[in-house]
Amino acid sequence: MVVKDECVEEEDPLMIKGETDKSDIPQLRLAYHEGSGYFCDQCEYSTAKASTLRLHKETKHEGVRYPCDQCEYEATQLGSLNVHKLAKHEGIRYPCDQCEYAATTVSDLNRHKRSKHEGIRYPCDKCKFTASTASYLKSHTEAQHEVIRYHCDQCEYAATTASSLKTHKKTKHEGVRYLCNQCDYASTHHSNLKKHMDFKHEGIRHPCDQCEYVANRLSDLKKHKKTMHEGVRYPCDQCEHTVATVSSLEKHKKSKHEGVRYPCDKCDYTASDKSNLRRHKKVKHTIFANLLH
């Protein structure tokens, strides 16, 4: 199902993503100008409405979740669950009227149009970096100039984002695993389990319509076509390096410009990306150890 781009509303800068509705805005403006508001007693969060504070405490401190009845997804708010279902299970899309892009949410469409077609940029006031979104600028400022890290309370790991810390704790300390029901495979992410099932047990293949290449995953086919047939490159905004995929660009920026390292928990080795760490552990601590025994 495709939704026509007719009444796309611009986001108000006072909206707090996932925690503020439009009825809050007049009170938020009053709170910001007069210094009033409701403050969380467990963190530094503040809001103009008691109902919003209650929602914040439920999702952030009490662990309230709304599970999807069609997949493993869990939302912190009922509204987010509805958005997930519309995008993932009902196929609703919001097409861009200037290119072939189609978003799963109105906010994503607005971000796309601002960054791709309106040329809106958010410059850093401390260096020459410019971001395409306010959230990217915030992440850059925290990582590059404020050196903000999210520390694990169970080990020495420190993440550059709260989501990375959450993933770390789930996989390393809570032992969350998604098991294959046809073999011994176990994944730390549900999406990886699905990829495994498609490739290993269902034999799904994705052939390229322009050459003889056949991919195991649809995402690999898209990368192949972009790099081999469309000549798409992603330039780094901090140096002259260019790469073929967005994920490669993220790895480059983390290792070269943000100094992110992945330490081995069995020796003093540190890797610049996760794949190198996995390769190191497999060779040095699994294969080599087996040869010794």
Q: Which residue, 103, 118, 133, sits at the end of a domain?
A: 118
110 located within any domain: yes
Residue 207 inside a domain? The answer is: no
Overall pTM surpassing 0.75 (yes/no): no
Number of domains in the chain: 3
CB 185 within 8 A of CB 198: no
Within-domain flag for 269: yes
The 10s digit of each residue's pLDDT in 225-246 is 877 887 777 788 888 888 877 7
Domain assignment of residue 153, yes or no: yes
Q: Residue 31's domain is classified under what CATH number?
A: 3.30.160.60
Same domain, 164 and 133: yes
23 compared with 242, residue with greater pLDDT: 242
Is 158 in the same domain as 83? Answer: no
Q: Convert the pLDDT of each residue in 156-184 to its tens digit.
A: 888 877 777 887 887 788 777 778 888 88
Whether the per-residue pLDDT at 7 is higher than 50: the answer is no
Instruction: Compute φ and ψ for 263, nearest 5 degrees.
Output: -80, 145
3-state secondary structure (DSSP) of residue 143? helix
Three-state SS at 187? strand
Range of the domain at 150: 121-176
Q: How far, in Å, CA of 109 to CA of 103, rounded?
A: 5
Q: Indicate whether 64 and 148 sit together in one domain.
A: no
